Structure 1
């Protein structure tokens, strides 16, 4: 009898060997944290505006624009070397 489950979707993926020795990083970088913080502010503004109704349509759009700006800031910081494995984050011993 096998210990592996064969029921349900994705059972083929469950039987494949997974390499756990690779460091995932999980996006723990200044670029990722800044992006998430800006996008959370934009999402909060958009959610509040959505709850207020049609009178706050402009406020909702402002929240969405802030979220898009957050994405741009994240890409810019990553390109500047502040992303995972970026050259600005590597210690050179000094």
Structure 2
């Protein structure tokens, strides 16, 4: 174990401050991804309770589709800082 000490200033500079923007993914791509995945989780949960394997697998597939839709929307410019969301003065 190291015997070196860290001063309070060094520790504070190493940590992110609360003023730093951490980017919570507040974008159409993120919201669409989450909503589609929530629907898939709901379908899979109901299928689990009623013991229906095909519907459960369908719910899991909807969740995977949600990930793909979110990724595609981000690539299309609807993610955080995307080209479709920037204000161009109009």
TM-score by length of 2: 0.81
Work out whether 1:19 is the aligned partner of 2:16.
yes
Cα distance in 2, alignment partners of residues 85 and 75 from structure 1:
14
| SS of structure 2 residue aligned to 1:25 | coil
In structure 2, runs of 5+ residues without a counterpart are: 1-9
* Offset at residue 19 of structure 1 (A): 2.9
* Offset at residue 23 of structure 1 (A): 1.2
Work out whether 1:71 is the aligned partner of 2:64.
no
* Offset at residue 16 of structure 1 (A): 3.2
* Offset at residue 76 of structure 1 (A): 0.1
Q: What RMSD over aligned residues (CA atoms) do the two structures have, in Å?
A: 1.7
TM-score by length of 1: 0.78
Runs of 4+ in structure 1 over 3 Å off: none
1:28 aligned partner: 26
In structure 1, runs of 5+ residues without a counterpart are: 1-14
User: Aligned residue pairs: how many?
Assistant: 79
| SS of structure 2 residue aligned to 1:16 | helix
2:46 aligned partner: 48
* Offset at residue 75 of structure 1 (A): 0.3
Cα distance in 1, alignment partners of residues 74 and 42 from structure 2:
24
